[in-house]
Amino acid sequence: MADNEEITGPISQEDIEAADKLKNEANEYFKKQSYNNAIELYSKAIEKNPKNAVYFANRSIANMRLENFGYALSDASKAIELDRSYTKAYYRRAAAYMSLGKYKLALKDFEYVTKVRPNDQDAKMKYNECNKVVKKIAFEKAISVDKKEVNIADSINLDAMTIEDEYEGPALEDGKVTLKFVTELMEFYKQQKKLHKKYAYKILIDVKSYLQKQPSLVDIKVPDENKFTVCGDIHGQYYDLMNIFKLNGLPSEANPYLFNGDFVDRGSFSVECIFTLFSFKLLFPDHFYMSRGNHETLDMNRMYGFRGEVTSKYTSQMADLFTEVYNWLPLAHCINNRVLVMHGGLFSKDDVTLDDIRKVDRNKQPPEDGIMCELLWSDPQPMEGRAPSKRGVGCQFGPDVTHAFLARNGLDYIIRSHEVKNDGYDYAHNGKCITVFSAPNYCDTMGNLGAFITMNGKDLKPNMTTYQAVPHPDVKPMAYANSFFNMLCQ
């Protein structure tokens, strides 16, 4: 994918023209948000003419749209290597760096452009904006070091928050989530109304208190005749979440659910999604489960909208509290000792056991490697063995890795999410690695179906239900995302 092999010899005029034709076709697919097709054609154009920086820069932004940050970074770097004066390639690389939380490296790219093009106002503006982001993050980090001992959940005074007379929304009963509360909350959210901050804070404090007592790997027991549902990424698509409950029934003790990470970001109803899910968690703690995804992290929330949305609808203090709560979300769930469910995937090492996952100290932002990182970020690949991740974080693992892991741990198969699939799901590695993705027409652009998995406790055979996206109010995805980052990814 990186196409970093040495380019030798002249390229024929025929190949140059063929490559340009392929690039134009790829651009059309890109405009239709058909990014995989665009990437395939940009790659063919590169095969014909590997000396054209534009093809690499174009493939870089297509990979960015698919969250293949590693590939996007590599392609942008290759474009720069081919043409040091190609401004757009630096912007592409900066966007990839920012997606990976490497803000200072992004700033270096903007700085370089301003030096070689001192009169370029656009370059100057982008440098200044990126510099603001870097300074803001440095400031936040400095404050968090100063407040290292401060526990936000403990510092909130709920008694000092009054419920105004004009508030007509759902109310906790004796400080507790009830079925009446969560049913009213879902309807309230459909009307685009806001839960009172006192109740919102109380839910977060109670969820954190519960999650702190949970292990990093939660064991779930499903009785033989009982149904169990696993959902993948929701990504702030609240109205599609409501559709899942319409199709499959509301969560209850008789209708348990596991939501497998990435509840927030990108979609602009993330606050509504997470408070609905957390309310069900408090209502049915032993029948409603939530795994951490790679988007329940500070860097992702900064870039992809959740932090901006919480700050807009509530306060930056609440955004900080969310970060604190997300750190306690379990990293994986094991159903009846036979099916392991995690957001991303398997590991760069062969000897990982379920006990190793249980022992992970998860109360932190994910590191750049190791078990915690790979549970949140890894992806399957069709080839045997392992490869560096297309995302630039985690690893890619083949069918042999999956089969060896299952055998070592006495498991039947794994379920993971983390990747858009046209049908909402995908069977890989001879059916032993199942992907489920529950956000249909992801970001209002991808045209994919959503899916969820149901099974019974006896045979744990996965059954797929797929569905189309439903209409939602006219608030665009990424409406709350970092505006500078949004601009870079256009």
- How do residues 200-259 score in pLDDT, each as one tens digit? 999 999 999 999 999 999 999 999 999 999 999 999 999 999 999 999 999 999 999 999
The pLDDT assigned to 438 comes to 98
Tokens 């608030």, located at residue: 475
Closest CA to 251 of 222, 223, 281: 281
Residues 277, 350: Cα–Cα separation, whole Å: 34
* 3-state secondary structure (DSSP) of residue 289: strand
Span 13-144: which CATH code?
Answer: 1.25.40.10
Closest CA to 112 of 134, 136, 93, 135: 93
Query: For the chain, what is the radius of gyration of the CA atoms?
Result: 23
Residues of the chain with CATH 3.60.21.10: 154-488
Q: Is 295 a catalytic residue?
A: yes
CB atoms under 10 Å from CB of 255, counted, come to 18
Residues 385, 363: Cα–Cα separation, whole Å: 31
The pLDDT assigned to 145 comes to 57
Please tell me what DSSP assigns to residue 427: E
Residues 100, 300: Cα–Cα separation, whole Å: 8
Span 154-488: which CATH code?
Answer: 3.60.21.10
Token output for 200? 């919102």
pTM (2 d.p.): 0.93
Residues of the chain with CATH 1.25.40.10: 13-144
Catalytic residue selected from 196, 235, 287, 295: 295
The pLDDT assigned to 306 comes to 97
CA atoms within 13 A on the CB side of 387: 16
Is the pLDDT at 4 greater than 50? The verdict is no
Q: What does residue 270 show for φ and ψ, rounded to 5 degrees?
A: -70, -40
Per-residue pLDDT band for 1 (boundaries 50, 70, 90) equals: very low
Which residues are within 8 A (CB) of 63 and not within 5 positions of it... i.e. 6 or more apart?
A: 35, 39, 69, 71, 72, 75, 390
Closest CA to 321 of 155, 95, 87, 135: 155
Averaged over 320-326, what is the pLDDT? Answer: 96
Phi-psi bin for 336: left (phi > 0), alpha (psi -120 to 50), beta? left
Is the pLDDT at 490 greater than 80? The verdict is no
